[in-house]
Amino acid sequence: MPALEAHLDTPRAERYLAQLTSHLGHGPGGLKVLSTAADELVVDLGTATWTVRATGDQLVLRVEAGDQAELEQQSERVAHRIEQIARRDALRVDWRQG
């Protein structure tokens, strides 16, 4: 299954994870939270799975999809959402093959 990962350096990783967990728990846009833990969130994007982990001073993002086209589309969606909530810290998502 194709996958992309991004590692964002931020001392606020846990804060961003908590914010995403709270926001996505309401199921905006048909998203479905599959799993939550103290340091991880797993979200069903419909055609892909998005995992967010807080590890010390990093927010780790992973998107997996059934094909490359869906992976590209969903990774853009995830990057946009992260960059919106982290605009004050100017975080940018730089995807790498995972």
Residue-wise pLDDT for 52-93, tens only, equals 999 989 999 999 999 999 999 999 999 999 999 999 999 999
CB-based burial label for 87 (10 Å; 0-12, 13-18, 19+):
exposed
Q: Is the pTM of this model over 0.85?
A: yes
Residue-wise pLDDT for 17-56, tens only, equals 999 999 888 888 778 999 998 899 999 999 999 999 999 8
